[in-house]
Amino acid sequence: MSPLHEQHFRAIENLIFEWARAIDENRVEAIADLLLEDGRYTVKSRFNHDRDLPMAIIDSRSAAQLRDRIKSMRIANIYEPHHYRHILSGVQIVGEQAGVLQVRSNYLVVRTMALDGDMKIISTGQCQDEVILTPSGPKFKQRLFLYDSRIIETLLVIPI
């Protein structure tokens, strides 16, 4: 690992943790600020990704598009109240090209229903992120969540 990586490793880990904490604390709007304005946030099955199939369940091609989606979650979607808990592990910087860091991590999301307290692992998978170090700290150029199971029980209304 180059000195550049060493120096910024903690900041990148913190960026990844911040995304998760914003969602878990129901401050979902805050994640859009962690994405570059022309950044991309995609949630796709490992199955489709391995076969180069384009279909994704979320594919926001800018921070503005992600803000729209979160707003619709707040004011338009009807769903049973629930929240998430992210458990993350294995953050690794696996490459760098022209100032873009390639970052890998694993995630597991537990969903808890407000009504009956039912807890369930709703998704596990790998994040394949591209991170850029800006003057105001690291930001995501791309967040790609590759989920392991093709089964998505219900509409994924809150972003992961």
CB-CB contact of 45 with 146 (8 Å) = yes
Exposed e or buried b per residue across 136-156, where buried means at least 16 C-beta atoms within 10 angstroms of its C-beta: eebbbbbbbbbbeeeeeeeeb
Query: Using the rule CB under 8 A, which residue among 4, 87, 155, 157 binds a second copy?
Result: 87
CB atoms within 10 A of CB 91: 19
**How does DSSP classify residue 121?**
E
| Using rule CB under 8 A, residue 148 touches a second copy | yes
Q: Which is nearer to a second copy, 67 or 104 (CB)?
A: 104
Question: By CB under 8 A, is residue 78 in contact with a second copy?
Answer: no
* 90 forms part of the interface with a second copy (CB under 8 A): yes
Q: Is residue 81 a contact point for a second copy (CB under 8 A)? A: no
Residue in this structure with the two tokens 């850029």, named with its chain if needed = 132
Q: Which stretch binds a second copy (CB under 8 A): 29-37, 52-60, 63-71, 142-150?
A: 142-150
Residue ranges in the chain assigned as alpha helix (H): 3-24, 46-50, 63-75
Q: Which stretch binds a second copy (CB under 8 A): 34-42, 55-63, 64-72, 100-108?
A: 100-108
Query: Minimum CB separation from a second copy for residue 11, in Å?
Result: 8
The site map against a second copy for 102-141 (x = CB under 8 A) is --x-x-x-x-x---xxxx-x--xxx---------------
- Cβ-based neighbour number of residue 116 at 10 Å: 8
Position 88 contacts a second copy (CB under 8 A): yes
DSSP strand pairing (137-147 vs 35-45): parallel
Contact 21, 113 (CB under 8 A): no
The amino acid at residue 118 is D
Q: Give the interface with a second copy as residue ranges (CB under 8 A).
A: 1, 6, 9-11, 14, 17-18, 20-21, 24-25, 83, 85-92, 104, 106, 108, 110, 112, 116-119, 121, 124-126, 148-151
